[in-house]
Structure 1
Amino acid sequence: MPFNSLQGPMPTEQAMQEVLAEIQGGNFETIDEINDFLNKKLLNPTPKKAPSSNKDRAQQMIYEAMEVQGAKRYKLAEEALNLDPNCIDAYVILAENASTPEEAMVLSKKGMEIGKKELGKDFFKENKGHFWMILETRPYMRAKANYAETLYELELGIVAIKEYEELLELNPNDNQGIRYKLFPVYLETGNLLEAEKLLRQYEEKTAHGLYNKLLLELCKNGFSANAAKLLKEAKKANPHVIPFLTDKNSIPMFLPKGYRLGDESEAIIYADEHFQFWEKIEGLQKWLKKQ
């Protein structure tokens, strides 16, 4: 699994965008005709058509930028913005390279507001609940997620919660992994009830799901019998987490780009995101040694 889930699988999205453009530009009258077209395309792929507008050319540059790192990434984003001043994803990428969290917040917010205006109020009402499945919403969703993240970095947790919750309302399937970002903000702001609701909504037998369930129990009820039970379940799902939470293993400076469930890579990413909450629990290491 990719570590940064906010952006999504860009190559897949790019391919979907290209096929959608061909379908929209074709003279198809029935679903059967579209299916025939797709089947023929799978059997006999045709060369990619050059983008026909500045908006399309800008988005093509963004897809290229998402596949590279460093100066080239940000140069492509700037070029995309020159072609299309309303290129939302360009603002998302440039926010990564911002010199301050405040600047990142401004850039992300600008992209988000452009997306909101382009989609329109009626679109939000009609498509709420399955937003991510509509390709044209994704730049807006990425910008909004980045905006929420910068708010949290600026210690504006209450405002960040609102943005994250709105993202989950628009897309309860949570393809972006917003729930993993929202849970720590709930803890940081003392919203334990909302944190509990979130874990129930997204019941997961993974390190994030099970260790967060344990973490919440420890915050609410201390070293209870239920906490001991939850610890066993969590260790069964990924035994590598505890050594990182107790400083037996150090969290590496460079995090994995992806992770496998039950693997040490998953443990590193979980510990990096949640260590600050675990270290606040007095007597944790002593309790863990007894279990």
Structure 2
Amino acid sequence: MSDREKAQELIYDAFELEGPKRYKLAREALKLNPAHPDGYNILAEEAGSLVEAIALYKQGMELGQQELGEAFFKENKGHFWGLLETRPFMRAKLNYAQANYDLGQLQEAIRHFEELLELNPNDNQGARYSLFIAYLDNNEFVKAKELLDHYDDGTVQTIYNRVLLELLENEFTPLAGKLLKEAQKSNVIDYITGKKKLPAFTPYFYSLGSEEEAINYVQDHLHIWRKIPGISEWLTQSRKKVKS
């Protein structure tokens, strides 16, 4: 095998491991192919700070972009995820965008989330969910609504985000109540109001309509819901009206 092929095999092996062995294989892979984005993605996991991690994500993203080349981007924009060779770069770019968001660098995060959707409109990575949150944090409500309308997938994320957006823009309107009535098919409200306590850790996997999906949603969006004065009381009263 070529060095690039050997590096890829080491990365595949690293994906199956945890701890020091995982990082050792990533380093060995980068010796064989210094431009492999997944090597940097893995090493960022053991970084001592988010600032160190973001530097590794950026390095992997930029090297991956150079490796693919400008012509490749022009030719394949719109269906990137369907091409296996793009995925390490796409993972690094998503990690970089999310790390920027976590550091409060909203404009940079939004730019990269948007670029991910341009490269892969099918959004196999779920970048739209993080982008929606970033839009709200940045008070870009028009863009947030356009994003919801474009990806109207009927998930808990979309259903409750329609309620959230209406509340942020227009407060406790009849439309907000109507949207909430349509949304009350999960335990999201119990977690927002504090009736149920959120677990310390985010569930890694979840199925549609599951308790884990509700937990994931609230953990990501709770800080925005809490910006609305009187939200817990309104949610509680609205739920009582539905049950009565």
The correspondence of residues 211-222 of structure 1 with structure 2, limited to 5 A, is 211-222=160-171
Find 2:80's aligned residue among 131, 154, 161: 131
Query: 1:69, CA displacement in angstroms?
Result: 2.3
The correspondence of residues 233-244 of structure 1 with structure 2, limited to 5 A, is 233-236=182-185, 239-244=186-191
Query: 1:273, CA displacement in angstroms?
Result: 0.6
Q: Does 1:188 align with 2:188?
A: no
Find 1:283's aligned residue among 226, 230, 236: 230
Structure with more contact order per residue of length (Cα contacts < 8 Å, sep ≥ 6): 1
Asked which structure has the greater CA Rg, the reply is 1
Please report the TM-score for the alignment, with normalisation by the length of structure 1: 0.80
Find 2:70's aligned residue among 115, 121, 124: 121
The unaligned stretches of length 5 or more in structure 1 are 1-51
Find 1:158's aligned residue among 107, 110, 113: 107
The unaligned stretches of length 5 or more in structure 2 are 239-244
Query: 1:92, CA displacement in angstroms?
Result: 0.9
The percentage of counterpart residues that share the same residue type is: 53
- State the Cα deviation string for residues 181-204 of structure 1 (Å, max 9, x = none): 111111111111111111011002
In structure 2, what is the Cα distance between the partners aligned to 1:68 and 1:216? 41
In structure 1, what residue type is equivalent to 2:224? Answer: F
Q: Which moved more, 1:60-69 or 1:109-118?
A: 60-69
Q: Which moved more, 1:80-89 or 1:111-120?
A: 80-89
Query: 1:248, CA displacement in angstroms?
Result: 1.1
Query: 1:74, CA displacement in angstroms?
Result: 1.7
The correspondence of residues 22-171 of structure 1 with structure 2, limited to 5 A, is 52-171=1-120
- State the Cα deviation string for residues 11-42 of structure 1 (Å, max 9, x = none): xxxxxxxxxxxxxxxxxxxxxxxxxxxxxxxx
In structure 1, what residue type is equivalent to 2:91? Answer: R
In structure 2, what is the Cα distance between the partners aligned to 1:73 and 1:255? 22
Spell out structure 1 runs of 4+ moving beyond 4 A: none
In structure 1, what residue type is equivalent to 2:161? Answer: N
Query: 1:70, CA displacement in angstroms?
Result: 2.4
Query: 1:118, CA displacement in angstroms?
Result: 1.1
- State the Cα deviation string for residues 191-240 of structure 1 (Å, max 9, x = none): 1111111101100211111011111111001111111111111113xx21
In structure 2, what is the Cα distance between the partners aligned to 1:100 and 1:186? 25
Q: Does 1:173 align with 2:122?
A: yes
Paired residues of 2:35 and 2:67 also in contact (CA < 8 A): no
In structure 2, what is the Cα distance between the partners aligned to 1:234 and 1:93? 38
Which residue is 1:5 aligned to?
none
Please report the TM-score for the alignment, with normalisation by the length of structure 2: 0.94
In structure 2, what is the Cα distance between the partners aligned to 1:272 and 1:210? 16
In structure 2, what is the Cα distance between the partners aligned to 1:154 and 1:254? 20
Find 1:255's aligned residue among 202, 207, 213: 202
Which residue is 2:216 aligned to?
269
